[in-house]
Amino acid sequence: MDLKSIVRRGRLELGLSARAMAEAVNVSHSYISQIERGVIKRPSPMVLKRLADVLTGVSYWELLRVCGYTGRNEKNGGGIKEIEEILKEIDWKEFEELVASILEQHDFSCVIHFKFKTKRFYEIDVLAAKNNIILAIDCKKWKRGRYKKTDLKYAVKAQEERVEELKKFLRVNKLLAEKLRLKGKLYFL
């Protein structure tokens, strides 16, 4: 089944008008109409995530597959697409959403663009928590070139600092720790 059929059938099953569906997905009603007519065949992964959240009986992964973000690659004889190939097709915001979606599929609670302050302001692209495991993920699209190794070393050092400051922040911010349902000794990755 193609995207236009999935969206139209799902919208009608929910008894939603195109305007109501658009409001739920946070896009214009004309955007929903263009998807249902097949004019827009490949919305961004962020829009697909919001569609999956609204529609019943269809997963985010199914929508990604139908739109060609995952699945078979004709270039390698019909094999599964390589992650590098998928990443070339999305921007950094969509990558953050994709990372959070994968973690949520594995029962992690996620916060995108988590900002906090200790000695200065910090931001973690994706903060994920499950039981006593904390993942602080920095989603960067590394440039190619001769300084890549230096850039990576700098980014690792900066990430280590953010994680250390996050540990301090969580020790004093019990409300956040409760919201993330953290308990016992915490393990940061």
- Which tens digit of pLDDT belongs to each residue from 63-115? 888 888 776 555 555 555 566 666 777 777 778 887 888 888 788 888 888 99
| Phi, psi angles (nearest 5°) of residue 158 | -65, -40
- Per-10-residue mean pLDDT of the chain, 189 residues long, equals 93 94 92 94 86 89 82 54 67 80 85 90 92 87 57 84 91 81 80
Of all residues in the chain, what percent are helix, strand and coil, respectively (each to 5)?
50, 15, 35
